[in-house]
Copies of this chain bind each other. A is one copy, B any other.
């Protein structure tokens, strides 16, 4: 079944992708930036590059390290981080609902001819 892939163009602040959101969710689940990034298939440096880009876009941190050193005490989403995830998922859910009939039609257009 065809599905929507949604990016949010933030203008000069760059683009927020579903992959970015998934990374935030995995960091939240694992309670660790390193483990979340690894679960997402990213190396340590790639994970931090993505986070830095997102922090810069929103001009505030989306993830916060606890006491215990850089990721030593674990990490969690800030309230901003939670809001960004929640709003992205809400956008996605709303779009999935309004697009359902058209996506089903795309499915028919593909399979009817293959």
A interface residues with partner B (beta carbon < 8 Å): 1-11, 13, 15-16, 57-60, 80, 83-84, 87-88, 90-91, 94-95, 97-99, 102-103, 105-106, 109-110, 113-114
Taking a contact as CB atoms under 8 Å apart, the answer to whether A5 and B7 are in contact is yes
Contacts of A6 in B (CB 8 A): 4-7, 95
Copies of this chain present in the complex amount to 2
A97-B95 Cα distance, complex, nearest whole Å = 9
10 A-B pairs (CB sep. < 8 Å)? A1-B11, A5-B7, A10-B106, A10-B110, A11-B110, A59-B110, A88-B102, A91-B95, A94-B98, A95-B99
Contacts of A58 in B (CB 8 A): 109-110, 113
Closest CB in chain B relative to A75 CB, distance in Å: 20
Q: Which residue of B lies closest to A4 (CB)?
A: B6
Contacts of A97 in B (CB 8 A): 98
